[in-house]
C-alpha cells in the first residue's frame, strides 16, 4: 500500500505529473487547461491488444490507480510532449488499392 501511495504522490495526486518532474519544461501556450470547466472530459474507446490491456492493468494495479486514469495520464503526457516537439512520428505510408467495378 505504501508503494502505491508514493507512486500517486510522485504523479502529483490522481496521476497528474508532478511539478518538479516538469519544472524545466514550460506549459505550451496553446495547451488547453486540464482542469478548467471549459474543457470537459470526453470518454473515448481505444483498441488495444489483449496483452497491452493486461499490461496496462498490471501497471495500474501496481500503482494502486484505475487503468483508465493511468491511460488518461499517459495520453495527456504524450500530447504535452508532442506539442513541445519532443515526439517525432514516423512518416506516413501511402497505400494504393484497386477495386474491380461492381
pTM of the model: 0.57
Domain boundaries along the sequence of the chain: 1-24+49-86
Whether residue 71 has pLDDT greater than 70: yes
Q: What is the pLDDT of residues 15-38, one digit of tens each?
A: 544 444 444 444 444 555 555 678
Tell me the C-alpha distance between 32 and 48, whole Å.
26
Amino acid at each position: 500500500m505504501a508503494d502505491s501511495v508514493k507512486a500517486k504522490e510522485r504523479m502529483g495526486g490522481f496521476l497528474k505529473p508532478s511539478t518538479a518532474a516538469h519544472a524545466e519544461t514550460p506549459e505550451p501556450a496553446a495547451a488547453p487547461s486540464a482542469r478548467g470547466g471549459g474543457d470537459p472530459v470526453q470518454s473515448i474507446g481505444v483498441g488495444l491488444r489483449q496483452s497491452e490491456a493486461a499490461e496496462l492493468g498490471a501497471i495500474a494495479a501496481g500503482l494502486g490507480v484505475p487503468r483508465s486514469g493511468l491511460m488518461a495520464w499517459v495520453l495527456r503526457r504524450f500530447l504535452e510532449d508532442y506539442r513541445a516537439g519532443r515526439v517525432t512520428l514516423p512518416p506516413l505510408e501511402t497505400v494504393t488499392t484497386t477495386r474491380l467495378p461492381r
